[in-house]
Chains A and B, each alone.
Chain A
Amino acid sequence: MDVEELKKRIEEALGGLVKGIEEGKGFIDVIVDLDNIVEAASRLKELGFDHVKSLTVIDYPKENRFRVIYHASSYLDEELAKYIVGIGADVPRDNPRMPTLVYVWRGVEFQEREVYEFFGIEFTGHPDMRPLLLVPQLAEAKPLRKEFIVKEEPIIRVKPPTG
C-alpha cells in the first residue's frame, strides 16, 4: 500500500467530512471541520489507527487560529504502522474550545491536559481538565502561544582593548 492508496482509503472511510488533505514529509494530515472531528476520528480508528502518537498544536496568530492535529498510527495492523495520519482541525484563537477525543483514543488524555496548559485550548468533555506539567500560575500565562516571549541573551561583541 502506498500513500496514494492510503489517501483513497481514508477519503472513502471519512466520506464528505474531509476538507482537505495536506502532505508533509513522513506523514499526511486530514483536515476536517471542528464540529466533525469526533466523528472523523472514530471512523479513522475503525480503519485501524488505534493510537495517537502526538497531539500537535501549532499557533498561527496572524491567521487567528490554532491548528490541532492528532497524529495517529497503528499498532495492531503492521501495514498501517508505516504511516502516520493526522486528523486535524482549526480552532479559533479567540474561542479556544473543542470536543475531546479521549473517548476515541484513551492515550491522548495526558496530551490534552498538556495542550490545555500550554495553549489554553479547552477540551469539552475531558474527564480531568487540570494542568499537567506546569504550576497553576504559569499555566495561566499559556507559555507555548507565540505572544509569550522568552528572553534571549544576544551575543555581544566587545572590541578588544587597544594599546
Chain B
Amino acid sequence: MSGDGGRVYVGNLDRSAKRAKDLVMGKLRMGRAVDWATAFSLWPVHLTTSCCGCEFAATWSPRFDAEQHGALPWVGARQTNMILIEGTVSKKMACAVRVTWEQMPSPKFAIAMGACAIDGGIFYNSYNIVRPWEIIPVDVYIPGCPPRPEAVARAIIELQRKIRQKRVVSKWIEEGWRPDKEYVAPKEDPCSWWRG
C-alpha cells in the first residue's frame, strides 16, 4: 500500500475508504444498514405452541427451504430474535410463550401463524385458550388452518419488509422507539395460574 501516493492495485485506498464511509454514514445512513442486516438475520425460537408446528417444520425442510430468506429456527431463547406462534396458545402455554419472549434479546419480532392465533379459529369458544396478541405484540399474522409453508415464507418476507420500511431497529437505536412498547403489557399475568 505504500509507495506512490497510496496507489495500489485496487485504486486509491484513501479515496475509496472515504467514499465508502460517505456512502454508509451519509447517503445510506448507518441506521438503514442495521435494519437491512437485522432483516436477514431472523432467528425464530424453537417454541412449538400447537399443531401448526407440522407446517412450521415443513417450512424449513428441503422442499420449501425458508433458510434462503435468512431465517433459521434456533434452540435457545437467548440466541433468537423472533417468535413464531404456531396456532392455538393454551393457558398453560401462554406462560411459556411470555417467559420465552422475555428471555429473547431486543429487537425482537413475532409472527402469529394460523387462524387460531388470529382469533381462536376453530377453537374460538374453547375455555382453555388465549389469544396470542393478548400476551405478546404480534407483527405479522398468517391466515390459514394450517397455513401452507409458502405462506410462512411469505410472512417472513413481509416481516423483513416491515423492518426495513419502518426502520424498526435504527429508530430504536436513534430515538429509543420500540414498537413493542406501543402495545400495552398483558392485562392479566399469563403465569398467574402458576403463582397461584
Touching chains A and B, CB distance < 8 Å? yes
Residues of chain A touching chain B, judged by Cβ–Cβ distance below 8 Å, are: 134-138, 141, 143, 148, 150-153
Residues in A whose Cβ lies below 8 Å from that of B91: 135, 138
User: In the assembled complex, which residues on chain B have CB atoms less than 8 Å from the CB atom of A153?
Assistant: 124-125
Q: Residue on B with the closest CB to A135?
A: B193
A-binding residues in B (CB < 8 A)? 91-92, 124-128, 193-194, 196
Cα distance A141–B92 in the bound complex, in angstroms: 16
Instruction: Given A135-B91, A135-B92, A138-B91, verify A152-B125 contact (CB < 8 Å).
Output: yes
Q: How far is the CB of A139 from chain B (nearest CB, A)?
A: 10
Indicate which residue in B92, B125, B196 contacts A150 across the interface (CB closer than 8 Å).
B125
Q: Which DSSP category, helix, strand, loop or mixed, fits chain A's interface?
A: loop
Q: Is the CB of B125 within 8 A of A138?
A: no
**Provided the pairs A135-B91, A138-B91 are in contact, do residues A150 and B127 lie with their beta carbons within 8 angstroms?**
yes
User: Bound state CA distance, A96 and B125, in angstroms?
Assistant: 28
Residues of A within 8 A of B194 (CB): 135
Judge whether B127 and A136 touch: CB under 8 Å.
no
A96 to chain B, nearest CB (A): 20
Task: Report the minimum CB–CB distance from A70 to chain B (whole Å).
Answer: 26
Q: Would you list the 7 A-B pairs with minimal beta carbon distance, nearest first? A: A135-B193, A150-B125, A135-B91, A151-B125, A137-B193, A135-B92, A150-B127
Measured in the bound complex, the distance between the Cα atoms of B128 and A137 in whole Å is 11
How many angstroms from the CA of A148 to the CA of B124 in the assembled complex? 16
A138 engages B128 (CB within 8 Å)? yes
Contact check, B125 vs A143: say whether CB atoms are below 8 A apart.
no
